[in-house]
C-alpha cells in the first residue's frame, strides 16, 4: 500500500513536470509569435511609427519648451521651433537692443521671450526691478547659467560663479577698488595715458584720421595689465598686439554657440570642443603672471598691493578656503577681458559724441581748465571727483550706450512681486537698453544731452531708470576703477586737443553686440587737432 502511494506521487509529479514543460514551450512559442507579429507590424508600419516618434520628439524639444509663458498668462513675441525668439538675433546680433525696444513698446513692461529653448521673463517695471535687486535679492542671488558644466577654472569667474563661492570671491576683490586704492593706481594709469598722448600729438600735427576705438582698446589693455597685475606691457606701441587681439576674439560672438544651443545636448558638445574662444591662451597669460608673482614672493622688496596681490594674500591668510589658485586664475581672466573692453568702449562712445557735439566738448573743456590748475602735471583724484559736468557727460554716454545692455538673474525660490507670480527656475531679464531709451523716462532718448543728469533732472526720475553698472550686491565691482580710467583719459586728452568728426566718421553710430555693446570697426574715425 505504501509502495503504491509512493509510485502514485512520483507519477503525479512527473505529469506535473511534463505539463510545466509543455506550458513553457507554449509560452516561448507565443512570445516568438508575438515578437514575429510585432516585427512584422513594425515593418509594415515603419513609416507610421517613425512619424509618431518624430512627432513626440518634435513636441518634446520644439513645442513643450515654448509653453511656459502661455501657462503663466504672460504675453510676448511668438517663438519659433528650435530658435525661440533668437533667429533674428542669431542672424544679426546687432539688432538685439532694437528688439528690446520694439517688444517693450508692443508687450509692455512685462513679457516673455525664449533664448532658443530657455525662457526669460523680461521685466522693465522699475519698482519690480528694485525689489528683485535689493529686497528679494536672496531669491535672485545668482545669474542663470546657460552652460551648467563649465570646466575649471571658467566656472569660478565672478560673472558666472554662484552661492557662497561668489560671496568669498566678491568680498576678496572689493577692497581693491576703494578710493584709497584708486589713488594709488593713478600713477600707473597716467604712465599708460602718456603713451597715448604721444601718439595723439603725432597725428595732431599731420591731420591723420584714425580708428580711435582701436587706440583706446590698446590703452585700456595696458592699463589693466599694469594696475591690476603689475605687468609692463607694450600694447600701445606694438601693431596688432597679440594680447589685445586675443581679448577681441574672446569677446566676439561665436556662431557655433548659437547652433549648439539648438541641440538637446549642445552644452555637452560645447564642453568637449578644444577652446573655441581662445580662452586657454588668455588663461595661460594669467597663469604666467601668477607664477612670476609667486616666484618672487621671497624678494626683499614689498609686493605692490594690486588686484593680484590682494587675491594671493587672501589665499595665504585663509589657507585656500575662501579663494584658491583656480579662483585667482579665473578672476585674472575676467579682469583682463572686462577691464579692457568696457572701458575702451565707453571712452570710444564718449569721444564719438564729443566730436559730434562741439558745444558739449567746449563746455567740458572749460570745466577742465577751471578744475585742473596749469601748474599741476596731472589732475588729482579729488579734482576729477569734483568735475560735475564731466560726470554728467559720462553718464549720458553710458545711458545712450550701456555696455551691459542686458542684466539677468535666476529665480532661486518662487515668489510674488507686485502680484506677478515668478516660479522657481524662471530667469529674469532686465532690458537696460530699452529702459535707457524709454521716451517716457528720457524725452528724445536718441539725443545726446548731458543736462539730463543735472541734480534737478535726476530728482524727477526713478533711481532705477539708470543702471549702466547694475544695482544691489551684484553691482559691477570694478565700476570705480573704470570711471577713474575714463575720467583721467578724457580730461588729459581734452586739456590739449580737440576731437573732430571727419567724412569717415559713421553717422549715425554703428554699434556691435558682443558680450557687451561696443563700436563697430572703423566707426569712431576721428581727427585730433591741437586746441586753440
Mean pLDDT, rounded, for 81-102? 79
pLDDT of residue 514 exceeding 80, the answer is: no
List, in sequence order, every beta strand (DSSP E) within 397-490.
407-410, 415-417, 420-422, 427-430
C-alpha cell at 517: 555693446
pLDDT of residue 62 exceeding 80, the answer is: no
**CA–CA separation, 308 and 306 (whole Å):** 6
**CA–CA separation, 487 and 391 (whole Å):** 8
pLDDT of residue 479 exceeding 70, the answer is: yes
- Name the pLDDT band for 57 (thresholds 50, 70, 90): confident
Is there a contact between 354 and 390 (Cβ–Cβ < 8 Å)?
no
Bridge partners of residue 501, in order along the sequence: 526
- Name the pLDDT band for 419 (thresholds 50, 70, 90): very high
In this prediction, residue 380 carries a pLDDT of: 93
pLDDT of residue 386 exceeding 80, the answer is: yes
Residue 510: C-alpha distances to residues 81, 217, 449, 473, 506 (Å):
31, 17, 19, 33, 7
**Is 351 flagged in the annotation as binding?**
no
- Mean pLDDT over all residues of the chain? 85
Which candidate, 517, 154, 149, 513, places its Cα nearest to that of 333?
A: 154
pLDDT of residue 497 exceeding 80, the answer is: yes
pLDDT of residue 208 exceeding 70, the answer is: yes
Place of cell 515668478: 422
pLDDT, greater one: 510 or 51? 510
Sequence-ordered alpha helix ranges (H) in 45-95: 46-58, 68-72, 87-91
pLDDT of residue 254 exceeding 70, the answer is: no
List, in sequence order, every beta strand (DSSP E) within 273-419.
407-410, 415-417
Note the residue count of the chain.
Answer: 532
pLDDT, greater one: 130 or 13? 130
- Reported as a single tens digit per residue, the pLDDT across 309-353 is 888 888 888 777 788 888 888 888 888 878 788 899 999 999 999
In this prediction, residue 489 carries a pLDDT of: 97
DSSP string, 285-337: HHHHHHHHHHHTTTSSSPPP-SHHHHHHHHHHHHTTSS--HHHHHHHHHHHHH
- Name the pLDDT band for 356 (thresholds 50, 70, 90): very high
Element (H, E) at 111: strand 110-115
- Reported as a single tens digit per residue, the pLDDT across 137-181 is 999 998 887 666 677 778 888 888 888 889 988 988 888 888 888
In this prediction, residue 231 carries a pLDDT of: 82
Query: Domains of the chain: which residue ranges?
Result: 2-64, 137-405+457-530
**CA–CA separation, 362 and 352 (whole Å):** 14
Second-level CATH architecture of 137-405+457-530: Orthogonal Bundle (1.10)
- Reported as a single tens digit per residue, the pLDDT across 19-34 is 666 666 676 666 677 6
- Name the pLDDT band for 518 (thresholds 50, 70, 90): confident
**CA–CA separation, 344 and 519 (whole Å):** 10
Least confident of 334-338, 460-464, 507-511, 519-523: 334-338
In this prediction, residue 336 carries a pLDDT of: 82
pLDDT, greater one: 273 or 371? 371
Q: Which residues lie closer than 8 Å to 389 by C-beta, 6 or more apart?
A: 363, 364, 367, 450
Mean pLDDT, rounded, for 183-204? 94
Place of cell 606691457: 233
Q: Is 238 helix (H, G, I), strand (E, B) or coil?
A: coil
Please, what is the end-to-end C-alpha distance for the chain in angstroms? Answer: 137
Amino acid at each position: 500500500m505504501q509502495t503504491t502511494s509512493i509510485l502514485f506521487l512520483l507519477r503525479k509529479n512527473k505529469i506535473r513536470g511534463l505539463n510545466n514543460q509543455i506550458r513553457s514551450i507554449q509560452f516561448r512559442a507565443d512570445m516568438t509569435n508575438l515578437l514575429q507579429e510585432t516585427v512584422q507590424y513594425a515593418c509594415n508600419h515603419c513609416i507610421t511609427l517613425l512619424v509618431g516618434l518624430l512627432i513626440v520628439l518634435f513636441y518634446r524639444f520644439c513645442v513643450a519648451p515654448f509653453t511656459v509663458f502661455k501657462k503663466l498668462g504672460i504675453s510676448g513675441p511668438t517663438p519659433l521651433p528650435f530658435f525661440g525668439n533668437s533667429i533674428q538675433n542669431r542672424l544679426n546680433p546687432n539688432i538685439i537692443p532694437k528688439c528690446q525696444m520694439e517688444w517693450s513698446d508692443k508687450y509692455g513692461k512685462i513679457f516673455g521671450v525664449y533664448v532658443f529653448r530657455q525662457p526669460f521673463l523680461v521685466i522693465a517695471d522699475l519698482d519690480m526691478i528694485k525689489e528683485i535687486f535689493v529686497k528679494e535679492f536672496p531669491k535672485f542671488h545668482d545669474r542663470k547659467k546657460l552652460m551648467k558644466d563649465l570646466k575649471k577654472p571658467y566656472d569660478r569667474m565672478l560673472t558666472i560663479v554662484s552661492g557662497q563661492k561668489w560671496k568669498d570671491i566678491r568680498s576678496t576683490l572689493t577692497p581693491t577698488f576703494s578710493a584709497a586704492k584708486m589713488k594709488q593706481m593713478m600713477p600707473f594709469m597716467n604712465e599708460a595715458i602718456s603713451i597715448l598722448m604721444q601718439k595723439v600729438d603725432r597725428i595732431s600735427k599731420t591731420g591723420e584720421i584714425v580708428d580711435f576705438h582701436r587706440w583706446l582698446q590698446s590703452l585700456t589693455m595696458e592699463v589693466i595689465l599694469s594696475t591690476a597685475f603689475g605687468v609692463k606691457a607694450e600694447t600701445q606701441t606694438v601693431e596688432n598686439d597679440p594680447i589685445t587681439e586675443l581679448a577681441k576674439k574672446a569677446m566676439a560672438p561665436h556662431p557655433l554657440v548659437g547652433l549648439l544651443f539648438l541641440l538637446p545636448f549642445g552644452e555637452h558638445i560645447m564642453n568637449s570642443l578644444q577652446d573655441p574662444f581662445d580662452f586657454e591662451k588668455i588663461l595661460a597669460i594669467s597663469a604666467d603672471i601668477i607664477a612670476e608673482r609667486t616666484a618672487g614672493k621671497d624678494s626683499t622688496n614689498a609686493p605692490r598691493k594690486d588686484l593680484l596681490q590682494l587675491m594671493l594674500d587672501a589665499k595665504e591668510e585663509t589657507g585656500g578656503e575662501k579663494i584658491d589658485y583656480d579662483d585667482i586664475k579665473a578672476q585674472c581672466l575676467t579682469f583682463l577681458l572686462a577691464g579692457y573692453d568696457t572701458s575702451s568702449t565707453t571712452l570710444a562712445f564718449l569721444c564719438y559724441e564729443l566730436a559730434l557735439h562741439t558745444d558739449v566738448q567746449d563746455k567740458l573743456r572749460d570745466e577742465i581748465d577751471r578744475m585742473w590748475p596749469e601748474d599741476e602735471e596731472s589732475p588729482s583724484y579729488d579734482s576729477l571727483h569734483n568735475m560735475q559736468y564731466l560726470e554728467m557727460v559720462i553718464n549720458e554716454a553710458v545711458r545712450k550706450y550701456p555696455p551691459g545692455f542686458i542684466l539677468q538673474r535666476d529665480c532661486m525660490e518662487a515668489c510674488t512681486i507686485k502680484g506677478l507670480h515668478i516660479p522657481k527656475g524662471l530667469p529674469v531679464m532686465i532690458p537696460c537698453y530699452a529702459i535707457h531709451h524709454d521716451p517716457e523716462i528720457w524725452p528724445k532718448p536718441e539725443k545726446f544731452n548731458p543736462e539730463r543728469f543735472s541734480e534737478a533732472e535726476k530728482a524727477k526720475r526713478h533711481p532705477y531708470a539708470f543702471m549702466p553698472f547694475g544695482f544691489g550686491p551684484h553691482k559691477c565691482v570694478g565700476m570705480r576703477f573704470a570711471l577713474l580710467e575714463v575720467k583721467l583719459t578724457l580730461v588729459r586728452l581734452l586739456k590739449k586737443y580737440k576731437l573732430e568728426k571727419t567724412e569717415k566718421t559713421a553717422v549715425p553710430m554703428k554699434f556691435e553686440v558682443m558680450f557687451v555693446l561696443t563700436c563697430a570697426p572703423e566707426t569712431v574715425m576721428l581727427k585730433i587737432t591741437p586746441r586753440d
